[in-house]
Amino acid sequence: ELMKITLRLMSVIAFGGLMFAVEGARETLEEFPFVDIEGVEISVDLCESARAHAEKLEPRILQNYDEFRGILFEEGSDGFLLTDLIYQLKKIYGYDASKVRHTPQNLGRTRIVQMNTTRKMREAIIKEMSWTRKLQDTINDYLRSLGQTEFANYNSYSLEFDNAILFSPTGYEFYLSNRHIIEELFPDLGGISLNAFSVRAGKSAYGAHNARPWSVGLSKPVCKLPLPNGARCLFPDKQMSLHTALEEVTYDHQPLVMYEDAEPEIPSSLYMAQKLNGQFPPHSNINKSLEMSRYFLANPSLGDENIFLSATQYQFARYIEQKYCNLPWKIPGVYWNLEPGQAVFFNNYVPHGDCTLPKSSRDRFTIDLRMFSKDYYPSDLSSVAPRMWRARFLHVMHTKKCLSIILGYQDEQELLEVITGGRLIVNSNGVQLSLVHIMTDIGLALHGSYGAERQDILTFQEGLKRHFERVRVLMESDPVLPDKAKTCIAETLGSDICDLETGTCDFSTN
């Protein structure tokens, strides 16, 4: 017992003084009406959960190994090594990516919050999410017909993350009804993204992961540190969520699992690659998969972002497996039994998620308000960002055009004008912002504060009201893909549409 206590104390010290952070959080939010619900430990710890997630992702990565074997081992080389990754990243970014690991502020333990909802509101949100899921299936079926075989959890056509707000009229009402809770819990708010998650009956929730902005390794060359007032460049120091149950959530319903004693961290891809280098037998499937992940990270074909995103998640799963399996103590997973309308208030930089729990006999629906603190934003990111970012931005903008067409607009510009009322949206330096900016695309390090007050899409109340009038009409019948939308989607596929060395895209090639 003494040894266990000593090891736990060591973990607290090693992970940044967690207990002090907890006490500080309690003092700050002492008057807030948290719900006193005891967390329940699951039988799987973070080490085992990360390994299970990596094993689930591995076949996706490994299926490409034989195809790319000639590239990986051409001219008698030893494979796609760490030095190859460093060279290629410099080539596509235009300068060295950093081998860095940022440790954000520790914000204390996960808490449960009672949100303002009604049964009618929750049922309406679930109905909208069910319709949107049918649309997601329709889009994915069309992508499969064009040769796409894998779909990462987060991608440009996902309707669960930043795109969810476009299809959630009642979800927006939920946000409006809870603004006072958000302001009290998160006073330094810089932006919000509304996410809508469902886990289908018979399926598993997404495995152990955390939020990891790609830009953590590029802050110094892009923003020319040091920054004013200790600000973070292109990523928020705080990223918290109010993950709200729309129906009862118990152990049998794929609950959100948190690893409370794990360290909040944002390691860059190059940092993780360095830590994993040489840790596994050379000819093992794990090492082959890590080689493939390094290759995809260094050659991110924007025409198939799913394999690139799966590679990043695989690398992180193996990274935390290696880190936490080598500790002399376990980091347990914890979940909470939630009543409808109760939210898990948690730090997105702490590992969370598990794919090992028993599959549920019914769907699980949750709505998530993801909150970002203010981050430093260069006056004109498009002029100083790496070429890969510029190409990625153009690609995401084109996918927004496709979704706008599905919603009945001519293009993304018409959707932007409806939401903003035709008003020109600019940052503090007068640089015009786009639909991608106000929708807070976290894959592009866009979090809603651009050197000014919040400018995320949730702040445009009248414009969203106009937009939702159209959405409600669409939801009266089954979702369909107009021919114009199909043409638009087809234009975004293919490895030759964007040139990562110039940061340009040509969507007319398909």
Interatomic CA distance for residues 102 and 267, integer angstroms: 6
Per the domain annotation, does 72 fall within a domain? yes
pLDDT value at position 65? Answer: 75
pLDDT above 80 for 313: yes
Peptide bond into 226 cis (omega under 30): yes
Element (H, E) at 61: helix 46-62
Total number of domains in the chain: 1
Q: Which tens digit of pLDDT belongs to each residue from 483-498?
A: 999 999 999 987 678 8
**Predicted confidence band of residue 222 (pLDDT cuts 50, 70, 90):** confident
In 173-194, which positions are buried (b, 16+ CB within 10 angstroms) versus exposed (e)?
bbbeebeebbeebbeebbbbbb
pLDDT value at position 9? Answer: 45
Q: Which tens digit of pLDDT belongs to each residue from 2-52?
A: 444 444 444 434 443 332 233 333 334 555 779 999 999 999 999 999 999
pLDDT value at position 13? Answer: 40
Q: Which two three-digit tokens encode residue 395?
A: 């690609």
**Predicted confidence band of residue 434 (pLDDT cuts 50, 70, 90):** very high
Per the domain annotation, does 21 fall within a domain? no
Per the domain annotation, does 486 fall within a domain? yes
Element (H, E) at 267: strand 266-267
pLDDT value at position 18? Answer: 32
pLDDT value at position 468? Answer: 98
Average pLDDT on 379-399 reads 83
**Predicted confidence band of residue 95 (pLDDT cuts 50, 70, 90):** low
Of 314, 318, 266, 230, residue with least CA distance to 442: 266
Per the domain annotation, does 213 fall within a domain? yes
Write the CA distances from 491 to 175, 211, 225, 303, integer angstroms: 35, 29, 38, 9
Of 498, 496, 377, residue with least CA distance to 444: 377
Contact 202, 252 (CB under 8 A): no
194 or 283, higher pLDDT: 194
Interatomic CA distance for residues 469 and 473, integer angstroms: 7
pTM: 0.90
**Predicted confidence band of residue 229 (pLDDT cuts 50, 70, 90):** low
Per the domain annotation, does 23 fall within a domain? no
pLDDT above 90 for 91: no
pLDDT above 50 for 305: yes
**Predicted confidence band of residue 117 (pLDDT cuts 50, 70, 90):** very high
Average pLDDT on 408-424 reads 95
pLDDT mean across residues, the chain: 86
Residue type (1 letter), 447? H
Per the domain annotation, does 252 fall within a domain? yes
* Residue numbers of the domain that contains 415: 40-495
**Predicted confidence band of residue 235 (pLDDT cuts 50, 70, 90):** confident
Average pLDDT on 91-120 reads 82
